[in-house]
Amino acid sequence: MHVDYSDLGKTIAALTAGETDTVALMATLACEIHQSDDRFHWTGFYRVTAPELLKIGPYQGGHGCLVIPFARGVCGACARTGQAQIVEDVDAFPGHIACSSSTRSELVLPVRNGAGRLLGVLDIDSDLPGAFDEEDAKALQAILDATFEAAE
């Protein structure tokens, strides 16, 4: 089952209408995104909690890493550059942090509020190699941007 991003966006918009609390938004999106596609084996957020530091936020799946510095891993690269990270083979990514040995590919997107402040990153892991493409990144980024527009 591959996600219908149009339907997912409408569902998330309906569920989060009027909500501005970042953690509530992250929890709702982690659940909805995770359950929308069988490629998604771990779906969650890492929050910016200090300069150059991400900490685990709401997620679905097995345990996640608790702390990720901006200087390390795929999530750190996304937070550092502000750019989507589409990794077809995590073993080929220099400095990849393996929270789960089954992860083969990863998609990480920046999460910003309407003022442009980086709130964190959305991290989606798959046990399948090359599970993500530019279409996934663009569609999910649009959902994130719309959802977190008014976030605190």
Ramachandran sector of residue 51 (left: φ over 0; alpha: ψ -120 to 50; beta: rest): beta
Does residue 40 sit within a domain? yes
Does residue 137 sit within a domain? yes
Answer yes or no: is pLDDT of 97 > 80: no
Q: What is the pLDDT of residues 134-148, one digit of tens each?
A: 999 999 999 999 999
Look at residue 1 in the predicted model and tell me its pLDDT.
Answer: 60
Q: What is the pLDDT of residues 26-81, one digit of tens each?
A: 999 999 999 999 999 999 999 999 999 999 999 999 988 899 999 999 999 999 99
Does residue 141 sit within a domain? yes
Distances, alpha carbon 32 to alpha carbons 11, 139, 141, in Å: 8, 14, 15
Does residue 20 sit within a domain? yes
Answer yes or no: is pLDDT of 101 > 80: no
At residue 7 the predicted structure's pLDDT band, cuts being 50, 70 and 90, is: very high
Look at residue 143 in the predicted model and tell me its pLDDT.
Answer: 98
Q: Which of 103, 128, 88 is nearest to 44 (CA)?
A: 103
Ramachandran sector of residue 130 (left: φ over 0; alpha: ψ -120 to 50; beta: rest): left
Does residue 152 sit within a domain? no
How many domains does one find in the chain?
1
Q: What percent of the chain has pLDDT over 70?
A: 95
Query: Contact, 10 vs 17, CB < 8 A?
Result: no
CATH code, domain carrying 14: 3.30.450.40
CA angle 66, 126, 36 (to 5 degrees): 100
Quote the domain boundaries for residue 100.
5-147
Q: Averaged over 4-12, what is the pLDDT?
A: 97
Look at residue 96 in the predicted model and tell me its pLDDT.
Answer: 67
